[in-house]
Structure 1
Amino acid sequence: MADHQFHLKAHFPGLRNSVGTIESGQLHTKVSIPPEMNGPGVGTNPDEMLLGAAATCYIITLAAMMERSKVKKKDLSMDSTAIVNETNGVLTYKKIIHKPTIVLTNRDNERDRDLALRLAKKAEASCMISRAIQGNVDIELEVTIK
């Protein structure tokens, strides 16, 4: 199996509270330190991007697993939250909480309900980003099936 390569160009000409840019494929944005960490809050930041990577990897993995398992859904959406802790000036990315909402075509279909819940849990363990951060960042799931 061949390796896949992804490239990113970053430019940050100023000091801590300056604004830089990143470019990678379809991603072109400004970057800076978030206001929660006394930064200018322009563009995105590493905390949002790690949360975005984890969330998009998880939801795409879940959608693919549901499709392969023929779970009939009307919709799949998710809210995700990252918890970053600061202790003695040291920042630690502690936890990500994914809250997927799966809307089934037939909510009375017990097979689809049970399978959707199992797949929601399995997708977290199968997602490439979840596996990459495993052991460093806890990931919690709060699944809603309608």
Structure 2
Amino acid sequence: MEEHRFHLSANWTGGRNSVGEISAGNLKTQISIPPEMDGPGIGTNPDEMLLGAAATCYIITLAAMLERRNIPVASLTQHSEGIVEVDKGVITYKKIIHRPNVVLKKECPTDQVEKVKQLAERAEKSCMISRAIQGNVEIGLEAIVGIEN
């Protein structure tokens, strides 16, 4: 079994509405509580970072699956949304919705559209981050697949 380790360093001085810094490999940024939760909104925050981890893992997994099957892709874009619920002071990350948009090249047979939709669903189940948060955060998928004009 192979094991990979990732490390993050954090520095936080002050109280709730202070600003900190994190550093992990190529990720170096300030952190604070988002303005939606009455924070200063400087840098990023845990809500954006969880969404970013889930979204990047998903799109990379989908791209790898498409490549392995030699499916000719003209473009692969995505919008992801995180939904956080605040109920009586308890904050819960409820749901992440991925909305990938896959445009296949003209020469791609039309029967590939359905295959790509299935791969989009399989990528969500295969993604390491999706598996890590499974059972805690609902993951939704609204894939759009088409062929370029």
Q: TM-score range by the shorter chain?
A: over 0.9
Structure 2: stretches of 5+ with no match in the other structure: none
1:1-146 matches, within 5 Å, as: 1-106=1-106, 109-146=109-146
Structure 1 portions without partners, runs of 5+: none
- What is the CA deviation profile of residues 90-118 of structure 1, one whole-angstrom value per residue up to 9, with x for unaligned ones? 00000001000001002762232121111
> TM (normalized to structure 2)?
0.95
Shift of 1:83: 0.4
- TM-score w.r.t. the length of structure 1 is 0.97
Q: How many residues are treated as equivalent by the alignment?
A: 146
Is the contact between residue 107 and residue 113 of structure 1 (CA under 8 Å) also seen in structure 2?
no
Structure 2 CA distance for aligned equivalents of residues 107 and 84 of structure 1: 42
Q: Which amino acid aligns with 1:6?
A: F
Q: Work out the CA distance in 2 between the residues paired with 1:111 and 1:5.
A: 41
**Identity %, equivalent residues:** 58
**CA RMSD, aligned part only?**
1.0
Moved more, 73-82 or 99-108: 99-108
Secondary structure, in 3 states, of the residue corresponding to 2:111? helix
Q: Displaced runs of 4+ in structure 1, greater than 6 A?
A: none
Q: Note closer, same or farther for the CA distance 1:107–1:113 as it changes in structure 2 (3 Å cut).
A: farther
